[in-house]
Each structure stands twice: as structure tokens, then as C-alpha cells.
Structure 1
Amino acid sequence: MSNNNQFALLRQRRFAPFFLTQFLGAFNDNIFRNGLVILVTFQATLVAGMDASLLANVAVALFILPFFLFSASAGQIADKYEKSRLIRIIKIVEIVLMTLAAFAFLNGSYKSLLFVLFLMGCQSTMFGPLKYAYLPQQLRSEELIGGNALVESGTYVAIILGLIVGGISVATDSGNQLLIGTCLLAVATFGYVSSRGIPPTPAVDPALTLNWNAWTETWRMVAFAREERSVFLSILGISWFWFFGTAVTVQVPAYTLVILNGNEEITTVLLVAFAVGVGAGSLLCERMSGRRIELGLVPFGSIGLSLFAIDLYFAQPIAQISAVSTVAEFLARAGSWRVLFDIVMLGAFGAFYSVPLYAMIQDRAERTHLSRIIAANNIINSLFMVIAALLALILLNAGVTIPQFFLVLAAMNAVVAIYIYTLLPEFLMRFLVWILVSTLYRIRASGLDNIPKEGPALLVCNHVSYVDALIIGACVRRPVRFVMWYKIFQIPLLRFVFDTAKAIPIASARENAELLEESFERIDKELMAGNLVCIFPEGAITRDGHVHPFRPGMERILERRPVPVVPLALGGLWGSWFSRRRGQLRTIPIRLLAAVSLRIGNAVPARDATAARMELLVRTLRGDDR
């Protein structure tokens, strides 16, 4: 298997023991939680006077309450101390909790099980900041999407297994409660054993003084998160996903019982379908993003969430009259496959939405307090989950049916998505770029490691089409400031994309001498700020497919700000939709999914980067591939 494949991480000590540890933890959580909820829902058991519908939402509240109470401390501890040791301590606590849970199941003590559920929430609160702060310390930036995808998919595979074990155990007679207790203890023990293999992961802020005041520390962590606007908006986006996911999945047992007229097996199948969707979507994220943090997947995911929530309403808008007792009977009934498909798609598009956001937080947040930022994320996630449970209680008690509730969620998701993308247009811009380069072109990029991972550099490339900048921006892992002919900004869609990407309009001295001087000033400011700037030194899009002489403007840039110069060459674009093979932009594409290559050469020091030399290097890189 190629080292470029995300699954190669599963063979490496820096990832595999951690992956197995969190997998087993998620497995145990779901054996317990789903066993408890399904047991109470379908055996008509009253716990502290609560019926099944109320108890399902109360159980969610009990599990997430510790995130409000202890996340502030958990984030500080994760930043202050070595992480592998903390994880082992947490796994020992899990063994103790699962022992209590096993005894409570055997004795049928539901109040005790609710107390254990609260304690499990405490344990998850402590593990959360470690889970997401560990990855960026052990993985490179280009591995974060793959690593997060594996963690998310592994978590949902664990959910599937937990649903099966928990659901089957409580659906039969009480004698099998011994089985669920034994499973809980065994999985917790294996989780501790796997944690022993996690490599040491140094503290990022060992001198940190712990603040035990949860209120003041929570506000301090939120302030850390707000330092980088894109990080904070990503946290809000993830929190909305938890709101949406909680609102949907918590209703599944009641949806099965009241609307589908099914039993525990049907509930398990529906929850498994959602988990399969999230797992599959997570694994697809790396392939769809090209091993980079592709924010374009976020709007794509939000669109899918609304569309399939709407279709879930139309798939079964009213309650079924006839009951089904087996999965086979359920699948044989008209409309059931549509319900399953919608739930799978909700899971998949939820993964497209959330995985890039987690990776973006890990990549852009300040390392010295990343765990505290993750803890702030957990607190805000929890708040949104509580609101979701309260909203469900209010609307369902007001007479809204569960399918109608799904329709309300779809509308709310569309409004929230539009609001977030107006606050941070980068998401929508990346979506438009991703759609463009994913539908019109098949891009093969080589030499990406030749672009400096940090610090300023000038990128120079041949100019073949109106979308050259979009293709380069889709491949290069760092943000790039493109210098573009000012009239391209007059094309409505491209103007939005380039404005959002902070592109720099430029004109010739004959067209607009003042704009030309302003362009050179902006280029210098961007380089001084440590950014990448890309120019097309030919000065115009080729009309014959050949590389034309480079103009001396790049030398003027380097005289003022000597930075490394990286040659890029685009091939395969000549004759595609946005090229000018016939002298003008085509109105109808004749080459869909055109094979396009982007070749990136070694950086050249500023003192050696003349226009003539860079032109020769670009010509050589491109070769005969027009």
C-alpha cells in the first residue's frame, strides 16, 4: 500500500495504538448508551417517572452535562501534561465505570445506569481534548484529513458494533444482561492494553498554571478560539453539525416505534445506516480533497444534509398502519429502502461537512493551547446538543410529528449554512473551486513538496486558461495570492472567487498605470507578510498553446523583495473549455474531465531568478504537454 494512502497510518505506531484505543472507547460507549435507551424505549420501563421519549432526551443531557462542567479543566490538563500517560489513566477509569455498569445491568438498576452515564460523560470530557490535540502533534499537515477521516470512520464503525451488541443484548431476555456486562468490561480492558502502545506525546505548555474556576477558564478558552476567526467559525460549524446529528439520531427510536411501526431491530438498522454513512463519507474525504484540507467539502456537505433531511420527510410523512417485526419485513415494505438511503446519505454528507472543519482547527489553531481550543469546541458542541434536545422536546410536545421535525431541521440547516458562508466566504469560494476542478478536469499534481511550507515565495506559471489560478489554488496546500488581469474580475463568478481569495488585480502601464503601481505595492505587502504570491509572467493567456516570453515584472518584484521563486507548469489545458484555442472563450465545453497536469519544480534563489531562466524552467517542466 502506498505511503500516500491514509490507511498506511494504521501500520504506524504514531497512529495505530491511538486509533485502536479511541475505537474501543467509542465501541464501549455505544454498547452502554444504546443498550440503555433501547431497553427503556421498547420495554415500556418508567425510570424516575419518565417515559421513553422523555428519557431519550434526558439521557443525552446527562451525557453532555460534564462537557459544560469539566471541559475547562480537561483542556488545561491536556496542554500541561504528556498525553499518552493521560490517556492510560482515562482508560483505567473506564474499566472502573464499566464494572459499575455491568453490576447495574445485572441488577436492573436503571437509576444507577443513568448515574454511570453521567460518569461516562465525565470520562469522555477528559478524553476529547486529548483525542483531537494528539493528531496534529503526530501527523503532518497533509495527513490531517486522512487521520481525522480514519478516526471518524473508526468511531462510526465502533458505533455500528456497539449498536449491534447493545441492541441485541437488551432485545432478548434479561439473562443476557450478563453478556453485555462482560462485553463492557472486556472492551475497556482491551482499550487500556492498546493505550500502552501510544508513543509519548510531549506537553505543549508544561508551565501552565491550572485555573480550576470553570467559568473564567471557559471564557478564556473561547477567547483563544476567537483569536483566529476561521477557527472560531469552524467550531460554530462543527457545533451545528452536532446539533443537527443529535436532533436526528435521538429521535430514531421513537421514529421507528411511532412512524415506522417497527421494533428494536429496525431501530438498530437505522442507526447502523447512519453510522455506515458517516464512516464511508469520512473515508471518502481524503480522496475527494486530494490529501489537503479542502474547505470546499463543507458547503457540499451542508447542501446534502438539507436535501436528504427533506427527502426523509417525504419518504414516510405519516405513520405506518401495519407493524413489522423483522428487518426483512421492513425492507419488503414500500418506501423502506428510501428511508435507509436518506439516513445513509445524511451520515455521509455529515462527514463531508465535519471532517474538514476538524482538520482546519487542528491546522490553524495555535499549538500551545490547541487542547484548550478543542475543549472550547466541546463546550460549544455540548451547548448546541442541549439546544437540539430542548428544541425537539418543545416541537414534539407542541404537536409537530417526527417527519415534520426533520423538515424543520432541513430548513434551519439551510439558513445556518448561508449565514456561516456569508461570515466566512472562504468556504463558499473553496466549494466553487472544488466543483469546477472536480467536474471539468482530472488533475495530476507533482512536486507539491517543492513549495515552501512556510514563509514567502513567488510562484511563476505559464498562462493557458481563465481558470489557471483556480487549478493551482485547488492543488497547492497553502493559500496563494494570485496576480490577475483586472478584466477577469469583471466575470461575476470568478470575481467572487478571486476577491475572496484576496487576488491582486493588475493592468499594463498603458491601460492603467496607477493600478499597476498599486499592484506592485500589494504584491510586496503580501510577500512581506510571509504569503505565497503567484504571477503569470507571460502577461496574457496564450492564444496558440505555447509558452511566450516572460516579461520583466517579476524581476522588479524580486529587486524590492528577494524571495525564493518556484516554477510551475500547467499542461493539458489547451483546448479545454476555458482556454482560448479558437481566439475566444468557448460557450460549450468540448473536453469534459480533461486530464490536466501541474508540475512544480525546485525553488530558485532570488539572485538567480531572471525572467529568461524562469521561462526556460517552466518550458522544460511543461515539455510537450500543452
Structure 2
Amino acid sequence: MSGSNQFDLLRTRRFAPFFATQALGAFNDNAFRQAMIVLIGFHLGLSVEKAGTYAMIAPAIFILPFFLFSASAGQIAEKFEKTRLIRYIKLFEIGAMLLAVYAFHAHQVWLLFVVLFLMGLHSTAFGPIKYAILPQALKSEELVGGNGLVEMGTSIAVLLGMMAGGALMALGDFGTTAASVLVVAIAVAGYLTSRAIPPAPATAPDLKFNYNAAGETVRTMRYIGANRTIFNSVLGISWFWFFGTVFTSQLPAYTQVFLGGGESVLNLTLALFSIGVGVGSLLCERLSGHKVEIGLVPFGSIGMTVFALDLYFARPLPAAVNGLGLGAFLLAPGHWRIVLDLVLIGAFAGLFIVPLFALVQSRSERSELSRVIAGNNILNALFMVLAAGLGLGLTALGFSIPQIFLTVALLNAAVAIYIYTLVPEFLMRFLSWVLVKTLYRIEADGAARVPEEGPALLVCNHVSFMDPLIVMGIVRRPIRFVMYYKIFRIPLLNFIFRTAKAIPIAGAKEDAELLERAFDEVDRALADGELVCIFPEGGLTRDGEIAPFRPGVEHILARRPVPVVPIALRGLWGSVFSRRDSALGRSRLPRRFWSRIGIAFDEPLPAAQASAAVLEAKVRALRGDQA
């Protein structure tokens, strides 16, 4: 995958039809909703107060099915073949849009709300399938890129749908017909593209359906809560929707009052945020190296906070002018700073959300993923309601819109700290990602040979203090490292190693008790199905050559026979944190930032064949002459 591009997925049948189907669905949801808003607000002769009341009720009507039916939708997505379900859902969408056509022309507000509820039900049913089908269709190394494309496609489709639905309905007498043709045509197109999606077999065909929606909702939330990492990832995803809902709901008034812009400037601000999310989503694959890199999550949250704060300071007071067109807005002093803030808030939000979705998909049992996504959707809906409530509450307290942005930025920082305190793995991966990306350019060969599940022992040559971080950055699964206790205690790195549950070890002459505890902990980790990585040389190389492997690896395998994966680090001798400088009597200074290094993985060996001598020979052959 090192030379692949995530856009290549758009040329494959296993992804492209699904991508088009979900993007068309997101487009149509928002085209209908925006057309409905314009019709009610401007074409029915309603008072401003009544139109405003309808506008506030509309989001609640759309979100209501998520609370009522998400748990049931998750069960259905597990029990039945997903592609057929998608086609039924798309036929349901066509029916809902035909009803919308009648409601548009008859000016029946109550019927428009019925259709809005039906579209919410459509999204409720499609949601668990949307994210659960990806791990079935994509390879593990394509998961981040696929999620990035889906998030990009969704954000752009939402924007285009809002613009198209509103613009067509605003065309006067012809607008109702134009909007009607659009929503029906898009629904039909979504059904046609769904016909090309390959089969996606049921992941739990024997699941006993629970007709008690409330009871199933509670059970789903309990399941999510049982896995700390998944639960906090779902909380993070829901926080993304909270954060985005506050910002996008305030943009119309912010554009008019604080930017002095008209409708074209509002479209620009919405476009900037959506484009930013799309760009950030696509960058995830490149920055993560085709794997689930949760270190990007703190990076995304930091950027969201920084640029949301800057948006407050960029324009804290109302604009002195009103009704600016697009050109006048872009030429006005200080507005490019606001443009940049909106794009970067969206971009860092994309970096925040994509790894979280990929993490949920990779850490959840395949037979329960749809129900996990359903639980996620329930929490998302709840957080969106809370976001609307926060906006209304702060406005009632006299907060200006920039002050609301400031409040949410500070809340974002507080929530991030809270989540990373609960799950230090996020922050640990972020620190290791920053260190490794700053110091090295890594070429990985054969990382897919590490088992996707079950226990395994990784054995690797030991060249620098950064070796565990490099291995950790390439292997998708969490790893328990066995390391010399003095390296384990290095400042800053100690936080990373402790968070990664590294196992400190010492020689028998140094601390026999610590040595025995280390072997016991390794055995427990392997018994629990974890990956354990050891450096059998017993210390860093002092001359760049591989030292003889010690028999500790044989002791581990005698207690717990598991597959063994030989790993070789290449090109690290002489880089930052190797012992080359100290061996030559020179100060160990950073002389080779962003060094080009390599890491190679061999096929797993059965424990019976994995003696220290055999493993040493394997690692030597893997490394070659690239010390």
C-alpha cells in the first residue's frame, strides 16, 4: 500500500457504488431540508414568528427517529445482507420524495414534516450499514482512506445539497417544480448506484431480534460502555457533531451580523467549513500511513481549539457594514484570516473524526459493529440536541456569537483533556507519532504479516532508544514492549511507555525479582491474546551490528507457545538516539533529522521452530547490510 492512493478506491466496484450511493443520500437529505426551509420561510406567507418556530422544530423532527429506531436498525443491519437492505432503503427514499413533491405543491406544512420524519428514518436505517459495510469491503490498510473518502464525500454532498435545494426553491413559481425534480431524480440515482454495490453478507444471521426498542437501546449502550476505548471513541465522534452543530447553526447570524455579508457570503462560510472537513479527512490517510493512527485525534482537537479561539479574536465585534457581496467580503481587511480559520477548523475536525470512526470499526467485533454504530448514532443525536440547547441557552444569557465560539473552543479543550485522561492511548499515540514523524521517514515492508488478532511475539533488533516508537507506529495493533528498565524510565518517553503498558525488565544480576515479574507479565499478556515485542539482544547495539540473541525468548515460548514474527530495523545506526556518537566519544546531538529508515517483517514462525539462534538468523537476513 505504500505506493497506493486512496482515490484508487473510487475505481473499484467494492467501494465506488457505495460511495456514490451514500453521497447521493446525504445530498438529498439536505436538498430536501433546505428546500423545505425556503418554502416555509418565504413562499407560504407565514409570519416571521411562525416560520421561526417551524425552523426550530424541523431539526428535532429529523433527529427523533435516531432516538426511536437506531437500536432496531443496528440489529437489522447485523441480521440481514447489507446490500439488499441498502436497496430497500433507497426505494423507501424514492417513495418519501414522491410524497415530498405533493407536499411542496400542496403547501402542506404538516405533510412536509411527515416527509422530514421519513428522511430521518431513512438516515437512521442507513447509518449502521454505512460504516459497518466498510470493514467488509475494504482491506485493513484501506480503512482509513475509505473512511476519509466517505467523510469528504458526505461533507461536500451536504454542502451542495443545501445550496442546490435552497437555490432551486428560491426560483419563484418554477422553484417548487425544480426542487421536486431534483429530489426525486437524486433518489432514483441513489437506487441505481446501489444496484452495483457487491453483496455484503450478514455478520450475525442468527441474531434474535429484540422488538423492545427501548430495551435494545439500553443494551446497545451498555455494550459500547463495556469497551473503554470504543466508548470514548464514540464520545469523541459525538463531540465532533456537537462542535459542528454549534458552529454551523451560528454561521447564518454570524455572517450577517459580524461579517456584514449577504447570502453569497453565507454560502462561502458553509463551503469553507465543509471543504476543510473534506481536506482534513483526505489528509488522514497520508499522515497515518494507511493505518488507524489515533495519534491524529489529539492533533485534530488541538487544531480545532486553536483556530476556533482565533475566530473569536479575529472578529469579536459586529461589522460596521452590512450586505457585503462575495467580492467585497474577500477584499475587506481581516477577512482572509476568517477564511483561513474556517477552513482549518474544518480540516482539523476531519483529522479528528476519521481516525475515531476507523478505530471503532477496527476494534469492534464484526458481528456487533452495526449495533455499535447504531449506539453511536443515538449519542450523536443526543449531542446535537445538547448543542442546540447550548446555543439557545448562551444566546438567552446574552452571549454574542463570537463568545459562543470562544466557549465551545474552551469546552473542546476541556473535553479533549478529559478523554485523553480516560484513555491515555490517544495522547501516547500522538506523542509517538509526532516524535517519529519529526525524526524519520519510514519505509515499511511486510507489516501485514503481523497477525490481525490473537497472541504473537514480535522479536526485533535493537538500534536506538526510539525503536519501540517506530515499531508501534507501523503495527496497527497495540503492543506490549519488553524493555530495559533504564530505557523505560527516560523522561517523556516514560509516559509513552507506561501508557502503552510496556514491561520493564532487568538482568538477573541487576534485579532477579524484576526479571521474574517481567516474564510473568509477558505470559499474562500473551494469555490475554495481546502482542508482545522483545529485543532479544538485551540492549542497544554499540557498534551497529546485531548482537547474539539471548535465550529469554525461548523461556517465554516454553511457557506460552505462540507465533513469532521476526522484525528488522534498517538504517537507524547513526540516526538520532542511536549509540554511534557516544561510541565515538562525541556528544549525541541531532545530526540526522528526518532520516530515511526501514522496517521489515518476516512471516510468523511456529513456536516450536523459533529458537534464539533461528530468530537471530532471520532478523540478520531481514536487515541485510543496512545497519
TM-score by length of 1: 0.95
Gaps of 5+ in 1: none
Alignment of 1:149-298 (within 5 A): 149-298=148-297
| Offset at residue 566 of structure 1 (A) | 1.9
Q: CA RMSD in A?
A: 2.2
Matched-pair identity in %: 56
SS at match of 1:250: helix
The verdict on how the C-alpha distance between 1:77 and 1:169 changes in structure 2, with shifts beyond 3 A counting, is same
The verdict on how the C-alpha distance between 1:255 and 1:104 changes in structure 2, with shifts beyond 3 A counting, is farther
Moved more, 301-310 or 41-50: 41-50
Alignment of 1:115-514 (within 5 A): 115-514=114-513
Task: Please name the residue that 1:5 is paired with.
Answer: 5
| Offset at residue 354 of structure 1 (A) | 1.0
| Offset at residue 228 of structure 1 (A) | 1.7
| Offset at residue 136 of structure 1 (A) | 1.8
SS at match of 1:61: helix
| Offset at residue 340 of structure 1 (A) | 1.8
**Preserved CA contact (<8 Å) 2:582 2:588:** no
**Preserved CA contact (<8 Å) 2:309 2:405:** yes
Matches of 2:322 and 2:168 in 1, distance apart?
22
Q: Write the deviation string for residues 537-588 of structure 1: whole angstroms up to 9, x where unpaired.
A: 1111122222222222222222222323222111222222211222289664
Q: Write the deviation string for residues 379-422 of structure 1: whole angstroms up to 9, x where unpaired.
A: 11111100000110111122111111000000001111101111
**Preserved CA contact (<8 Å) 1:480 1:531:** yes
Q: Write the deviation string for residues 158-202 of structure 1: whole angstroms up to 9, x where unpaired.
A: 123213312432454343332222111111110011111122222
Matches of 1:39 and 1:511 in 2, distance apart?
79
TM-score by length of 2: 0.95
Alignment of 1:515-530 (within 5 A): 515-530=514-529
SS at match of 2:49: coil
**Preserved CA contact (<8 Å) 2:169 2:178:** no
> 2:599 is aligned with what amino acid?
L
| Offset at residue 80 of structure 1 (A) | 1.9
Determine if the alignment matches structure 1 residue 89 to structure 2 residue 88.
yes
SS at match of 2:85: helix
Matches of 2:37 and 2:542 in 1, distance apart?
67
Matches of 1:390 and 1:587 in 2, distance apart?
56
Task: Please name the residue that 1:607 is paired with.
Answer: 608
**Preserved CA contact (<8 Å) 1:75 1:373:** yes
> 2:7 is aligned with what amino acid?
F
Q: Write the deviation string for residues 87-109 of structure 1: whole angstroms up to 9, x where unpaired.
A: 11111111122223334344555
Task: Please name the residue that 2:626 is paired with.
Answer: 625
**Preserved CA contact (<8 Å) 2:480 2:532:** yes
Gaps of 5+ in 2: none
Matches of 2:169 and 2:437 in 1, distance apart?
46
How many aligned positions are there?
Answer: 625
Determine if the alignment matches structure 1 residue 591 to structure 2 residue 592.
yes
The verdict on how the C-alpha distance between 1:45 and 1:74 changes in structure 2, with shifts beyond 3 A counting, is farther
Determine if the alignment matches structure 1 residue 581 to structure 2 residue 580.
yes
| Offset at residue 325 of structure 1 (A) | 4.1
| Offset at residue 300 of structure 1 (A) | 0.7
SS at match of 1:49: helix
The verdict on how the C-alpha distance between 1:250 and 1:45 changes in structure 2, with shifts beyond 3 A counting, is farther
Matches of 1:480 and 1:139 in 2, distance apart?
24
| Offset at residue 527 of structure 1 (A) | 2.0
SS at match of 1:583: helix
The verdict on how the C-alpha distance between 1:591 and 1:171 changes in structure 2, with shifts beyond 3 A counting, is farther
The verdict on how the C-alpha distance between 1:114 and 1:608 changes in structure 2, with shifts beyond 3 A counting, is same
Matches of 2:72 and 2:549 in 1, distance apart?
58
Moved more, 458-467 or 387-396: 458-467
**Preserved CA contact (<8 Å) 1:38 1:253:** no
Matches of 2:240 and 2:502 in 1, distance apart?
31
The verdict on how the C-alpha distance between 1:359 and 1:468 changes in structure 2, with shifts beyond 3 A counting, is same
> 1:518 is aligned with what amino acid?
R
SS at match of 2:492: helix
**Preserved CA contact (<8 Å) 1:299 1:431:** yes
The verdict on how the C-alpha distance between 1:29 and 1:18 changes in structure 2, with shifts beyond 3 A counting, is same
Moved more, 450-459 or 235-244: 450-459
SS at match of 2:483: strand
> 1:13 is aligned with what amino acid?
R
Matches of 2:113 and 2:330 in 1, distance apart?
34
SS at match of 1:232: helix
Moved more, 534-543 or 320-329: 320-329
Matches of 1:185 and 1:504 in 2, distance apart?
60
The verdict on how the C-alpha distance between 1:58 and 1:47 changes in structure 2, with shifts beyond 3 A counting, is farther
Matches of 2:173 and 2:322 in 1, distance apart?
24
Q: Write the deviation string for residues 356-381 of structure 1: whole angstroms up to 9, x where unpaired.
A: 11111111112222212111111111
> 1:250 is aligned with what amino acid?
S
**Preserved CA contact (<8 Å) 1:441 1:593:** yes
| Offset at residue 612 of structure 1 (A) | 2.5
The verdict on how the C-alpha distance between 1:96 and 1:619 changes in structure 2, with shifts beyond 3 A counting, is same
Task: Please name the residue that 1:536 is paired with.
Answer: 535
Q: Write the deviation string for residues 138-158 of structure 1: whole angstroms up to 9, x where unpaired.
A: 223222212211111111221
The verdict on how the C-alpha distance between 1:310 and 1:57 changes in structure 2, with shifts beyond 3 A counting, is farther
Matches of 2:7 and 2:51 in 1, distance apart?
44
Matches of 2:257 and 2:400 in 1, distance apart?
10
| Offset at residue 43 of structure 1 (A) | 8.6
**Preserved CA contact (<8 Å) 2:257 2:322:** no
The verdict on how the C-alpha distance between 1:551 and 1:210 changes in structure 2, with shifts beyond 3 A counting, is closer
